[in-house]
């Protein structure tokens, strides 16, 4: 008997069809992966099960959970189900918790509501479940506030809230997308254990095929609101009967072609970072003791040669982005020097930095936040043009913009649009167009593809590789995702707690990591090949 | 290489089409234009001369001869409202101008610099803000004497901290955004970023606040005139008319109703206009319509 049965589910919001004839079943103790790219209807499926759909949503079909027809259930019935028999874990642990309530209150809230337990009893149970998800009393008393916890710890609290009442079904919507690979592996382990202990059904929603493969017994692949393929994980992924399944699998393992590999030591360095450190002041522990500064970056040295592609990998909070900002002269190091083309850029006034800025550009992670929503593409992409020696005539300027857009696969017609008229992938192309318009020598890319779908991500990686080959741009990729490093970099630097702990050729570091930090990263990184092989063994 | 570039500029026609689809903008615009036109007409023509007193016709109820009735000196209320409109508009407009012109740069600067400079500026700001507006206006007019110009300055000064605060709060929310970082990485200085990125992003905020302050300015002018510190007789003003009507509310209610309506309608029109403009200028609404 299935725990959840979805039959021929269709969903329209206003006049837009969102889901078309979706079929899905989950048995108790089973993990089902729901895979698809953004906009494919994954989250809407989850929200349908929870009956948390937006207004104007109309559903057809049947959704039976534990003998209850959810599409016909009243709001009162749903309130009793939500949080009690069905738990949900959201993607963003930063916003899924109420910042003004303690974690104890937030976990106990659901327990008190559903079981009518008293405060003391609910707190006792909250204590137990927090202990279970790896937040022991001694270090994490109930009186902690969300802002006192890290991202991974917050996601544990969210899981504790969802699992406090031992739900029959847990829905996890991209539960690890906002976390780095090491935390991701820990959270996935926790979810797997909880499923086993309580014989919960788990609906794991993700765009990451490798994550789902490692976790799920069965998978359902969704595209444009329709199920393209469903079945046992191992069989589905090894046979790859549907072309879209193959497309997804190929895109997740995509390595762009770079015929001209960079030869180390072939030229004099483009960027030299020498013993750079960055301290941040911290709060004083006592009036009489001077504050111990927090060292975000500690004695880091590195060099990048022209046309070389270097990846800086490390867990979140290890100082990668701080280092990137100092290289871009957006932040001042408290120790050491940074030289670009042999000239020191540290401590120079803005005016003197102009030539360096022209040859050093940046691509940010968030394709939504990195554009002024009030400006059109023409102005946005032209932002760095004022760094050029001579001021351009309007026609010349527009031609350069059109050219840059053409190079990233967009057209001149896009000049008159606003950023919100583009998809995530297209925005990242815009971001790259802005970065290459002055023909820089170095582009610093801070997690440039983490926010993108696998197929888009493969395209953007191709674009980076192509521009490297065509224009000889050197890259510094900053990422926690080893597949990006493997696909793009000639050399890998591993950063841990502000220090560079390992460096070497990409293959050497990723295949035979020597330092502990690098080993942890490599072990935690989801790998589709390995995951499929393991599933094949398990499922025969 | 050359490329043919033909692209859809955001044309004036497009903006106008959007404007004419926006009901609150249209109503607000209609009311505001009506008030402005009435004020302009008053320069060349009014039904009666507002400086001529006809005691024989005093406190007459609305009639075909005097649509809005007459006051206790026999002056035509419609004519007085028409002339009062230009006084109200001029005072409010200049006062908002002073507030925006000084307040916005101040707030934007405080947000850009941060730290001690920001704190110091904002505390001074709070101090000015803490004074009841009418009290400081009374103070200024008491020192420099009553009159329209001093009323403008007084209202303008208490507009400064309002705009400084709105500008600072808006700018603070924009500064940490990634596109500002991108602009800095493109080598743009603080001032240039403030002008190119911060101001356009807080413009709607300021515009809406501007229409609110404009409306409040009209109210403040009415308030100052009410206590006798605004425009001096024989120059009519809406506030002064209300003051004169106060003691005759029961016997001649039209003396209070019509100037009161003039204030309410003008303030309402301005607020609708502000809302409408905010909608139209939002690039995201381009898709919706």
Structural domain includes residue A72 = yes
CB-closest option in A366, A373, A406 to B283:
A373
List the structure tokens of A334.
């408290």
Residues of A in contact with B5 (CB under 8 A): 398-399, 402, 412, 415
Concatenating the DSSP letter of every residue in A313-360 gives: E--TTSSHHHHHHHHTTSS--SEEEEEETTEE-TT--GGGGHHHHHTE
Angstroms from B2 CA to nearest CA on chain A = 7
Q: Kindly report the CATH number assigned to the domain that includes residue A8.
A: 3.40.50.300
Which residue's structure tokens are 């033909």? Answer: B6
**In a shared domain, residues A27 and A161:** yes
User: For residue B31, which of B264, B199, B282 has the smallest C-alpha distance?
Assistant: B264
Q: Which of A439, A464, A479 is the last residue of a domain?
A: A439
pLDDT-derived band at B286 (thresholds 50, 70, 90) equals very low
Nearest CA in chain A to B6: A413
Interchain contact, B284 vs A399, CB within 8 Å? no
Residue B284: closest C-alpha in chain A: A420
Q: What is residue B9's predicted lDDT score, i.e. its pLDDT?
A: 42
A42 lies in some domain? yes
Measured torsion, CA atoms of residues A105, A110, A111, A112, in degrees rounded to the nearest 10? 80
Q: Which residue of A has its CA nearest to B190?
A: A350
ipTM for the predicted complex comes to 0.70
- Asked whether the beta carbons of residue A412 and residue B185 sit closer than 8 angstroms, the reply is no
The answer to whether residue A161 is domain-embedded is yes
Q: What domains can you pick out in chain B, each with its CATH number?
A: 30-44+67-288 (1.10.3720.10)
CA separation for the pair A480, A486 (Å, rounded): 11
Q: Which of A252, A268, A288 is the last residue of a domain?
A: A252
Rg (CA), chain B: 23
Domain boundary among A439, A468, A490: A439
Phi, psi of A442 (to 5 degrees): -135, 135
Does residue A173 fall inside a structural domain? yes
| Per-residue pLDDT reduced to its tens digit, B188-237 | 888 888 988 899 889 888 988 888 888 888 888 888 888 877 777 778 88
Minimal Cβ distance to A415: which of B7, B184, B189? B7
The residue in chain A having the minimum alpha-carbon distance to the alpha carbon of residue B8 is A416
What confidence tens digit (pLDDT) does each residue in A378-411 have? 989 998 988 887 778 888 899 999 999 988 888 8
C-alpha–C-alpha distance, residues A377 and A420, integer Å: 10
Question: Which of B74, B15, B10 has the alpha carbon at shortest distance from B244?
Answer: B74
Q: Is residue A461 part of a domain?
A: no
Among candidates A376, A383, A406 on the partner chain, residue whose Cβ is nearest the Cβ of B183: A383
A422 C-beta neighbours (distance < 10 Å), count: 19
Which one, of B228, B268, B244, B215, lies nearest residue B92 by Cα?
B215
Instruction: Note whether residue A247 is domain-resident.
Output: yes
3-state SS track over B110-172:
HHHHCHHHHHHHHHHHHHHHHCCHHHHHHHHHHHHCCCHHHHHHHHHHHHHHHHHHHHHHHHH
Neighbouring CB atoms inside 10 A of B216's CB total 22
The answer, for A5 touching chain B at a CB cutoff of 8 Å, is no
- B285 → chain A, closest CA residue: A420
Residue carrying structure tokens 């009374």: B138
- Are A102 and A232 part of one and the same domain? yes
Q: Provide the percentage of residues in chain A whose pLDDT is more than 90.
A: 31
Q: What integer pLDDT is reported at residue B147 of this predicted model?
A: 75
Nearest CA-CA distance, residue B135 and chain A, Å: 39
Euclidean distance between the first and final Cα of chain A, in Å?
24
Is the pLDDT at B4 greater than 60? The verdict is no
Phi, psi (deg, nearest 5) at residue B147: 155, 160
- What SS3 state is found at A20? strand
* pLDDT by 10s per residue, chain A, length 540: 689 999 999 999 888 888 999 999 999 999 999 998 888 888 889 989 988 888 788 899 999 998 889 888 888 888 888 888 999 988 777 788 888 889 999 999 888 888 888 889 999 999 999 988 888 888 888 888 888 888 888 889 999 999 888 899 999 998 888 788 888 898 899 999 999 988 999 999 998 888 899 899 999 999 999 999 999 998 888 888 899 999 888 888 888 877 666 666 667 889 999 999 998 877 666 667 777 788 889 999 999 999 899 999 988 888 888 899 899 988 889 999 999 988 888 878 888 888 888 899 999 887 778 888 888 899 899 989 888 877 788 888 999 999 999 888 888 888 888 888 888 888 888 999 999 898 899 999 988 888 788 888 888 899 999 888 888 899 999 988 888 888 889 999 999 988 999 999 988 998 999 999 999 988 888 888 888 888 888 876
Locate A193 and state its tokens: 């254990």
Interval A165-178: pLDDT, tens: 889 999 999 888 87
Distance from CA of B78 to the nearest CA of A (A): 45
A43: domain range? 4-252
- Report the predicted TM-score, pTM, of the whole model to 2 decimal places: 0.78
CB contact under 8 A, B3 and A402: yes
Task: With CB atoms and an 8 Å threshold, state whether B7 touches A370.
Answer: no
Round to whole Å and give the CA distance between A22 and A5.
Answer: 10
Distance CA B68, CA B77 (A): 6
Phi-psi group of B59: left, alpha or beta (phi > 0 → left; psi -120 to 50 → alpha; rest → beta): left
Q: Is residue A287 part of a domain?
A: no
- Give chain A's domain count: 2
A402 inside 8 A of chain B by CB: yes
């Amino acid at each position: 008997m299935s725990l959840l049965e979805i039959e021929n589910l269709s969903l329209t919001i206003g006049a837009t069809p969102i889901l078309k004839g979706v079929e899905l079943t989950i048995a108790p103790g089973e993990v089902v992966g729901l895979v698809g790219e953004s906009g494919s209807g994954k989250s809407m499926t989850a929200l349908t099960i929870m009956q948390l759909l937006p207004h104007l949503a109309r559903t057809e079909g049947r959704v039976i959970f534990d003998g209850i027809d959810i599409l016909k259930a009243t709001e009162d019935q749903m309130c009793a189900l939500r949080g009690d028999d069905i738990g949900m874990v959201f993607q963003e642990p930063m916003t899924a918790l109420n910042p003004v309530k303690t974690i104890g209150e937030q976990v106990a809230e659901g327990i008190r509501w559903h079981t009518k337990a008293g405060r003391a009893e609910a707190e006792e149970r909250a204590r137990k479940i927090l202990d279970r998800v790896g937040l022991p009393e001694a270090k994490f008393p109930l009186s902690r506030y969300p802002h006192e916890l890290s991202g991974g710890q917050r996601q544990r609290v969210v899981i504790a809230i969802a699992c406090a009442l031992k739900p029959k079904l847990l829905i996890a919507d991209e539960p690890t997308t906002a976390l780095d690979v090491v935390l991701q592996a820990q959270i996935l382990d926790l979810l797997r254990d909880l499923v086993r202990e309580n014989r919960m059904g788990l609906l794991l929603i993700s765009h990451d095929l490798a994550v789902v493969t490692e976790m799920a017994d069965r998978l359902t692949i969704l595209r444009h609101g329709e199920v393209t393929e469903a079945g046992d994980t191992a069989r589905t992924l090894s046979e790859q009967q549907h072309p879209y399944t193959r497309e997804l699998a190929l895109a997740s393992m995509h390595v762009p072609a770079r015929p001209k590999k960079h030869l180390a030591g072939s030229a004099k360095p483009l960027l030299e970072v020498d013993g750079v450190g960055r301290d941040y002041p911290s709060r004083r522990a006592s009036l009489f003791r001077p504050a111990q500064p927090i060292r975000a970056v500690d004695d880091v040295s590195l060099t990048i040669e022209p046309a070389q592609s270097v990846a800086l990998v490390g867990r979140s909070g290890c100082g990668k982005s701080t280092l990137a900002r100092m290289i871009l002269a957006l932040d001042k190091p408290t120790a050491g020097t940074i030289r670009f083309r042999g000239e020191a850029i540290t401590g120079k006034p803005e005016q003197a930095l102009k030539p360096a800025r022209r040859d050093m550009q940046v691509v940010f992670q968030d394709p939504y936040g990195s554009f002024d929503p009030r400006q059109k593409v023409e102005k946005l992409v032209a932002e760095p043009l004022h760094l050029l020696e001579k001021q351009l005539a309007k026609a010349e300027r527009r031609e350069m913009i059109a050219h840059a857009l053409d190079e990233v696969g967009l057209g001149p017609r896009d000049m008159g649009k606003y950023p919100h008229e583009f998809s995530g992938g297209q925005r990242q192309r815009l971001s790259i167009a802005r970065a290459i318009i002055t023909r820089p020598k170095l582009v610093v890319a801070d997690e440039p593809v983490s926010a993108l779908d696998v197929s888009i991500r493969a395209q953007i990686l191709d674009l980076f590789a192509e521009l490297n080959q065509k224009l000889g741009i050197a890259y510094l990729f900053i990422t926690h995702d080893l597949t990006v490093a493997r696909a793009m970099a000639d050399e890998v630097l591993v950063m841990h707690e502000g220090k560079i702990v390992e460096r070497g050729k990409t293959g050497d570091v990723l295949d035979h990591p020597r330092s502990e930090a690098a080993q942890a990263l490599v072990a935690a990184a989801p790998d589709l090949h390995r995951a499929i092989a393991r599933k094949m063994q398990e499922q025969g | 290489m050359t490329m043919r570039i033909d692209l859809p500029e955001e044309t004036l026609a497009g903006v106008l089409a959007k404007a004419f689809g926006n009901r609150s903008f249209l109503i607000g615009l209609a009311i505001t234009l009506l008030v402005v036109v009435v004020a302009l007409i008053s320069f060349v023509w009014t039904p009666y001369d507002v400086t001529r007193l006809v005691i024989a016709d005093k406190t007459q109820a609305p009639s075909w001869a005097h649509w809005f009735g007459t006051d206790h000196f026999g002056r035509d209320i419609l004519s007085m409202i028409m002339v009062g409109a230009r006084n109200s508009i001029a005072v409010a407009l200049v006062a908002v101008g002073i507030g925006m012109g000084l307040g916005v740069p101040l707030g934007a600067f405080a947000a850009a610099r941060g730290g001690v400079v920001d704190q110091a500026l904002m505390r001074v700001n709070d101090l000015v803000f803490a004074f009841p507006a009418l009290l400081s206006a009374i103070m200024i007019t008491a020192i420099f004497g009553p009159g329209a110009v001093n009323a403008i300055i007084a209202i303008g000064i208490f507009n400064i901290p309002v705009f400084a605060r709105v500008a600072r709060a808006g700018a603070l929310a924009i500064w940490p955004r990634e596109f500002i970082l991108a602009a800095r990485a493109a080598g743009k200085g603080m001032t240039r970023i403030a002008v190119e990125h911060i101001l356009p992003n807080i413009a709607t905020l300021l515009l809406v606040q501007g229409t609110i302050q404009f409306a409040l300015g009209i109210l403040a002018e009415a308030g100052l005139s009410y206590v006798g510190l605004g425009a001096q007789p024989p120059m009519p003003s809406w506030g002064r008319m209300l003051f004169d009507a106060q003691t005759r509310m029961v016997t001649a209610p039209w003396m209070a109703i019509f100037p009161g309506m003039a204030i309410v309608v003008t303030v309402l029109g301005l607020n609708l206009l502000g809302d409408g403009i905010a909608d139209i200028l939002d690039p995201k609404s381009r898709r919706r319509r």
